[in-house]
Every structure is written in structure tokens, then in C-alpha cells.
């Protein structure tokens, strides 16, 4: 409900507090007009470059789909049984929010065959009070649903809302990534980008940081080849999606995504990681560098291999329709890298010269007629290993 105090207007919500490992949060409902008026949507965008030329990204939200918005507007305003039963997830800064506890128990009477009796249900209820102002409620998840209420005057529609309090951008990003990475189809590149915002060391943040360094370091063979957020931007086209590169790095240090999740959870608890992946039989050739926190070595070894490929096949590397500029070619090369990296680790040789010596054996190979399917991955691999 909305109320006035002097010249100022405020919103009052009655909410139930629940506790989870991330902390306390509140479950309540807000009418769409209040939420729409007070909302702030923080889109993930390329904001520019810093002093050393690195890209600077801000925000956490994906772009609003025009088609999806139009579909939801039609649904909300034309469907007599329209419903959004799942929570919109928001964050409200602590300095804008007043939290007041209400009664800690409620008497309940029930009629039973044995007669009447009374007991108490313990419920933590709170009054949440904040100003009726714009850009107070930060939308973590649910911007598309809320967009459906354009041109919806006189429509009565309450929305279930989960309220986090004073979560920083890192925590908001992780909440969004977890919810959308596991439940709703969202660009994988955006999900990995947001996991990478974490200042806590984990497989995702390391893979993200290495991928960004591969894209931004001028010495890297992938300089401005990687599509941040899964798409090209105003500064360069890009060829390989961010999610493809990050997933491949996760495989190099963890073996597969399941092991990455296990490692992430153990690292959050301060537990020791296994030297070999437990959740997969897949080999993780760069795992020892991940465990010893030698992230720059991970970057350097990957860069050494692809620099050797670039030097061995300069024409194929540079041409516009190069197989190396496609996901198929990249994944085929990663498969080759895994094999050579294992050999290099055994002989303690992971330099560019080592990879160049191995790749130059196949310098006369051509990459014509590579199938643009999963078969193409193996075709690239076989051309450089057979």
C-alpha cells in the first residue's frame, strides 16, 4: 500500500522473512504500478574502454526482447486468466529501506471432530517501508514480465516478489546467473559473464578472466575475436562466442561443467580440491595450474598453442571464411590442444616452440570440405593428429 507522511509518499509492504545460505530475504507482493514506478533495470552493456584499452562492462541484465515484450503486453492485457505466479526478484538498498518487525506469532483456531483447540504458528513478519521514488527497486530477475504491463492502466495485478536487501552488484549478478542459468533460457555468454564478476576465486571466474585476457591482450592470437555477451559490438565483430571459449577453458581446468560446480562449491567452503577430476573421466590438462593459482600460465599456454596454429596456417587463420573463425574449428583445435598439452606436461614443454614443432608437421594440410556439424570437430582434429 502507498501512504503519505507530510509531503512525502511511501510504500508499505507486509513480508515474511526467510533464511537461506546467502542470507535473509523477504517474500511479499507488490502491485505492478508500484513496482513499475520504483524499478531500476541494470542492463549489461559495453560502456567503453579503460586507460589500458580493456573493455568496461556495466550492469547485469540481458537486453529486453522487443518480440517478447509485445507477446507479454498482449498476454497481460488480453488474457482474462493472465498470471505470473513465480517471484520477480529484486534488491532494495539498505539506506532506502526501513524494516520493522511485526507480531512473532499468530493464534490459530481449527474446528476438528474432537472439538476446538488453539495453537500458535511462528511466522517472522515484517513491514518494509521505502519512498515512492523511481529507481529504488533494482530488478534482478523479471524485467520481461514487468515489461508486459505497458499500457495497462486500470489493471489490477499483484506480483509475487522476493526482496533481497543491500546486495552488491557481484551478489546480484550471481543470483541472476544461478536463476537463469539453471531455470530459464538466457544467453550462456551472459550467464558466464555474470559468474565471472565474482571476486571469489572459482572455476568460472578464472575461466572468464582468461577468456577476457585472450580477447584483450594484443599479443593474443584471439585479440578481439571473442564475442562478449555472445554477440558483436560497436568496436569489433568477433567470431567465437564468449560462452564457447569459457566452457572450453572450464574443461581444460576441471574436465567438465559438473566438476566445475563441485570445485566451485568446495572453494566457497574453503575445502581442498582433488588433483584429478572426480565427476568425469575427461582429462583436464591445465588443472594443476588452476590448483596452484597460476592463472597467467593458463593464459600463456593456451595462447602459445593458438599462436603456433596461426603461424603454421597464416592464410587459413586470416581469411574471412576460415574454419578457425567458426565454433567447429575452434573446438577441433581445443581437442588437438588437449592431446598436445598432456604430452607437453609430461616432457615439461609448453612453450610456443613446442606447439609449433608439433603443428608444423601438418603444415601442408588443407581445411577444405570441413563439415559444419559435430563431425567437423573430429575432422579438424584428425587433420592435425593423424
Whether 209 and 162 map to the same domain: the answer is: no
Query: Model confidence at 192, in pLDDT bands (50, 70, 90)?
Result: low
Domain for residue 62, yes or no?
yes
112 and 197 housed in the same domain: no
Residue 25: which domain range? 2-169
User: Does a structural domain hold residue 327?
Assistant: yes
Residue 178 domain flag: no
Q: What is the mean pLDDT of residues 127-150?
A: 85
Percent of the chain residues topping a pLDDT of 90: 34
Q: Which of 73-82, 135-144, 146-155, 177-186 has the lowest mean pLDDT?
A: 177-186
93 and 221 inside one domain: no
Q: How far is CA 126 from CA 8, 17, 140, in A?
A: 22, 7, 22
Domain termination residue (choose one: 138, 169, 200): 169
Name the H helices within 224-291: 242-254, 257-268, 287-291
Of residues 167 and 246, which shows the higher confidence score? 246
The mean per-residue pLDDT over the stretch 130-159 comes to 83
Q: What b/e readout covers 106-117, taking b as 16+ CB neighbours within 10 angstroms?
A: eeeeeeeeeeee
The answer to whether residue 198 is domain-embedded is: yes
Counting runs of H as helices and runs of E as strands, what totals does the chain give? 14, 15
Outline where 94-202 has alpha helix (H). 143-147, 169-182, 188-195
Confidence of residue 52 (pLDDT cuts 50, 70, 90): low
Neighbouring-strand partners of residue 291: none
Q: Identify whether 325 is part of a domain.
A: yes
Q: Report yes or no on 182 lying in a domain.
A: no
The whole model's pTM is what?
A: 0.56
Tell me the mean pLDDT in the region 21-38: 87
Amino acid at each position: 500500500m502507498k501512504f503519505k507522511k507530510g509531503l512525502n509518499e511511501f510504500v508499505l509492504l507486509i513480508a515474511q522473512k526467510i533464511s537461506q545460505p546467502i542470507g535473509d530475504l523477504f517474500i511479499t507482493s507488490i502491485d505492478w504500478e508500484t513496482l513499475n514506478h520504483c524499478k531500476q533495470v541494470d542492463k549489461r552493456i559495453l560502456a567503453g574502454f579503460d586507460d589500458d584499452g580493456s573493455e568496461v562492462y556495466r550492469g547485469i541484465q540481458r537486453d529486453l526482447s522487443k518480440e517478447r515484450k509485445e507477446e507479454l503486453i498482449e498476454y497481460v492485457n488480453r488474457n482474462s486468466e493472465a498470471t505470473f505466479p513465480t517471484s520477480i526478484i529484486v534488491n532494495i538498498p539498505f539506506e532506502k529501506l526501513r524494516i520493522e518487525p511485526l507480531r512473532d506469532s499468530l493464534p490459530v483456531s481449527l474446528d476438528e471432530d474432537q472439538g476446538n483447540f488453539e495453537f500458535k504458528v511462528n511466522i517472522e513478519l515484517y513491514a518494509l517501508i521505502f519512498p515512492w521514488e523511481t529507481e529504488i527497486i533494482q530488478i534482478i530477475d523479471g524485467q520481461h514480465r514487468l515489461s508486459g504491463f505497458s499500457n495497462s492502466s486500470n489493471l489490477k495485478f499483484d506480483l509475487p516478489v522476493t526482496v533481497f536487501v543491500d546486495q552488491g552488484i557481484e551478489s546480484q549478478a550471481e543470483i541472476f546467473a544461478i536463476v537463469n542459468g539453471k531455470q530459464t533460457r538466457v544467453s550462456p555468454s551472459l550467464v558466464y559473464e555474470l559468474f565471472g564478476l565474482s571476486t571469489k576465486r572459482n572455476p568460472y571466474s578464472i575461466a572468464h578472466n582468461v577468456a577476457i585476457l585472450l580477447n584483450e591482450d594484443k599479443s593474443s592470437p584471439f585479440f578481439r575475436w571473442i564475442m562478449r555477451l555472445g554477440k558483436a559490438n560497436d568496436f569489433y565483430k568477433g567470431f567465437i562466442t564468449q560462452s564457447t571459449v569459457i566452457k572450453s577453458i572450464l574443461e581444460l581446468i576441471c574436465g567438465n561443467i559438473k566438476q566445475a560446480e563441485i570445485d566451485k562449491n568446495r572453494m566457497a567452503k574453503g575445502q581442498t580440491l582433488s588433483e584429478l577430476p572426480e565427476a568425469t573421466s575427461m582429462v583436464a590438462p591445465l588443472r594443476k595450474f588452476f590448483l596452484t593459482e597460476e592463472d597467467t600460465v593458463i593464459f600463456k599456454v593456451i595462447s602459445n598453442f593458438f599462436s603456433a596454429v596461426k603461424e603454421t596456417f597464416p592464410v587459413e587463420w586470416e581469411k574471412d571464411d576460415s574454419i578457425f573463425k567458426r565454433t567447429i574449428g575452434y573446438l577441433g583445435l581445443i581437442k588437438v590442444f588437449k592431446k598436445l598439452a598432456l604430452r607437453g606436461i609430461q616432457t615439461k614443454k609448453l612453450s610456443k616452440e613446442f606447439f609449433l614443432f608439433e603443428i608444423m608437421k601438418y603444415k601442408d594440410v588443407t581445411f577444405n570440405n570441413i563439415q559444419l556439424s559435430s563431425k567437423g570437430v573430429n575432422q579438424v582434429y584428425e587433420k592435425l593428429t593423424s
